[in-house]
Structure formats: C-alpha cells, structure tokens
Amino acid sequence: MEQNGQPMLKFRNIDAVRLQPAAAPCTILADGKKEFVFVCTGIPGMGARLTWSSGKRTLELLFSFVSIALDRDVGGGRADFPVDGA
C-alpha cells in the first residue's frame, strides 16, 4: 500500500509501517527474478523482500534472520496476503 507517496506494509490487524529501501541494490537474481529489499520502520529487526517473475510475486517478511514467504499470483486467484493492498 502507499500513504502520502511512501510505500507502506499492512498485514491483517497490524498497523501500517513505512518501508525504506535497505542497503542492498535492486537486483535481478540468477533465476531471472527481480528483487527489492526494504526495512520496516518502527519494528526493530523486521524487513521485507519482494521478488517477482512470470506474473508471480512473493513477499517475504524478514524477522532477524527468519523469513516467511507469502506468495500471490498476479491477476487473480486466492491470496491471504494482497501484496498490492487490494
């Protein structure tokens, strides 16, 4: 989601937090996926990694070296976590 031009992360009943670009470049991985890494302001030790390829987006929530992957197919289907805020 976006708020006042700033990228934000909102999940279920957790208040939205601002995403800041991490100290990592935006890259294209060996398998062709595009990758962006963010840190979540206001939640120490939490970050987010967004990858996408061939219409599939994956958002990983990173908690101090532990990650949880949340997948969503672009263009429809069931998703418990809407990456685009829908």
Domain ranges, ordered by start, for the chain: 2-73
- Residue 73 CA to residue 18 CA, distance in Å, equals 24
Q: Which long-range contacts (CB under 8 A, 24 or more apart) does 67-73 make?
A: none
Contact 50, 36 (CB under 8 A): yes
pLDDT tens for 16-69 read 889 888 887 888 888 888 888 998 888 878 888 888 888 788 888 888 755 556
Assessment of whether the complete model's pTM goes beyond 0.75: no
